[in-house]
Amino acid sequence: MASAPLEITQITPASGPAGVAYPIEMTIHGRGFMPTGNTVTFGPVRISDLPSPDGRHITFFVPKEVPSRGEVPPMVLLYGGYAVTVTTQAGTSRAVQFTLTRRR
């Protein structure tokens, strides 16, 4: 079975406030996503095993912290731009930009 080329066409929203007190639900729009096992990379954070029931959308909450390793506390992601990609068995998409903004 041939699969569609892996591509991100849009992310919604494309920006949102930094800070863990401001959750943001993001949807990646595109094609070639797998029903299960998609990995989204958001800047330094990898989110594994995300589903895409239709192969065209992946919805998740934007990470606001880099998970802790060992005794080091989590690192909060600061405002600025972050590359977002999707990886499947077929490869990795081109990156699109998400911007964490300063809170007003």
| Identity of residue 29 | H
Residue 2 placed within a domain: no
Which pLDDT tens digits describe the chain residue by residue (104 residues)? Answer: 446 789 999 999 999 999 888 899 999 999 999 999 999 999 999 999 999 999 999 999 999 988 887 788 888 899 999 999 999 999 999 999 999 998 76
Residue 25 domain boundaries: 7-101
How confident is the model at residue 46, as a pLDDT? 96
| Within-domain flag for 61 | yes
pTM reported for the whole predicted model: 0.90
Query: Quick check: is 1 in a domain?
Result: no
2: CB partners within 8 A, 6+ apart = none
Residue 29 forms part of a structural domain:
yes
- How many Å apart are CA 27 and CA 30, to the nearest integer? 10
CB-based burial label for 62 (10 Å; 0-12, 13-18, 19+): buried
Report the number of distinct structural domains present in the chain.
1
Do 89 and 34 touch, CB atoms closer than 8 A?
yes
pLDDT for the residue 5: 86
- Give the pLDDT score at 2: 47
Amino acid letter, 69: R
Query: To the nearest 5 percent, what fractions of the chain are helix, strand and coil?
Result: 0, 50, 50
